Amino acid sequence: YFSWEVLRFLLSNLRMWIEDYRFDGFRFDGVTSMLYHHHGIGTGFSGDYNEYFGLHVDEDALCYLMLANHMIKFLHPECITIAEDVSGMPALCRPVAEGGGGFDYRLAMAIPDKWIQIIKELKDEDWNMGNIVHTLTNRRYEEKYIAYAESHDQALVGDKTLAFRLMDAEMYTNMSVLSPLTPVIDRGIQLHKMIRLITHALGGESYLNFMGNEFGHPEWLDFPRKGNNESYHYARRQFNLTEDHLLRYRFLNSFDRDMNKLEERFGWLASPPAYVSEKHESNKVIAFERAGLIFIFNFHPYQSYVDYRVVIFKYKILLDSDAEEYGGHQRLDHSTEYFSEEYPHNYRPNSLMV
């Protein structure tokens, strides 16, 4: 229950951070816990509307969130607000004028959880393409999501980053370009690039990166606390790693730079959701179209393909995770330009062999 005194304090607090400290937006933490009297504890959300409308919804909390978003937008339209909500409350990210919660974005929290679950629990040959696509595309229509490949929770307090999960101890011994490319480092570098690109291109209307993720930072981030004897040893990011041209971290950083530059050029985040034309389980291939581009991912652990048919009209390589400058094996000819033929494939009228 909110008294008006508490309500005015909370709203004025938001205004203070914007006007006195020049904040340009807020991420509201634990919104799921606010929205329901059960706080989301012991509750699985399937998406059925009965789960979101009823006496179990905390109407005072929902009203506060709507008021907060309305006030922020009324006073400072340039500010953005983000909801950390795992329940999928309908219209939470639609304008208050429509009866929505008024948030601009919600965090796509299932995506980083899915990647870490896959890497920890499955062999490469057991990766499920349909499950990956479902997790990346499972969002409410016309509500904007922030996609991210890796969560700060994974890289804090002793857990491992994506790169560390993939490559672990070899990051300390085999990341030099003067040493042979081992299977562990090769697999880790290639998957790290692919996971970030497919998350960026398919997972939402915005992309979030945690510092160090873009170049596969090898260590977790841990602040001084009793559990580590107040140590500052891991309270840092090693940004110098990307500047050392004898280390392979620069390949990952270069790929991240060009991935973001390509998005700036074509604007897939501001485009409608992708059309997924292929999620092939035995081939381990995912293909989709978005913003006039076609994205093709081969997640097969050892199989490369020649003459692979995909849905497309005209084709020229713009970004290739297998390119030399990204630590790849240069298996594709970038000078080739392909044209499609009227050969129906995956419910589309035209296709070509790549």
CATH architecture designation of domain 275-353: Sandwich (2.60)
Question: Could you confirm whether 322 is annotated as catalytic?
Answer: no
Of 29, 125, 153, 281, catalytic: 29
Residue owning tokens 């074509």:
266
> Is residue 335 very low, low, confident or very high in pLDDT (cuts 50, 70, 90)?
confident
Q: Please give the helix or strand (H or E) that residue 295 lies within, else none.
A: strand 293-298
Mean pLDDT along residues 342-352: 71
Of 5, 48, 60, 84, catalytic: 84
Instruction: Please tell me the distance from the alpha carbon of residue 152 to that of residue 207, in angstroms, as a whole number.
Output: 14
Instruction: Please tell me the distance from the alpha carbon of residue 291 to that of residue 309, in angstroms, as a whole number.
Output: 21
Instruction: Please tell me the distance from the alpha carbon of residue 309 to that of residue 149, in angstroms, as a whole number.
Output: 28
Q: What is the pLDDT of residues 177-219, one digit of tens each?
A: 999 999 999 999 999 999 999 999 999 999 999 888 899 988 7
Query: Exposed, middle or buried, 69 (CB in 10 Å: 0-12/13-18/19+)?
Result: buried
Q: What is the pLDDT of residues 127-183, one digit of tens each?
A: 999 999 999 999 999 999 999 999 877 766 557 889 999 999 999 999 999 999 999
pTM exceeds 0.75: yes
Question: Could you confirm whether 29 is annotated as catalytic?
Answer: yes
* Mean pLDDT taken over the chain: 91
pLDDT above 90 covers a percentage of the chain that reads: 73
Domains of the chain, by residue range, sit at 4-107, 275-353
Mean pLDDT along residues 116-135: 96
User: What Rg value do the Cα atoms of the chain yield, rounded?
Assistant: 22
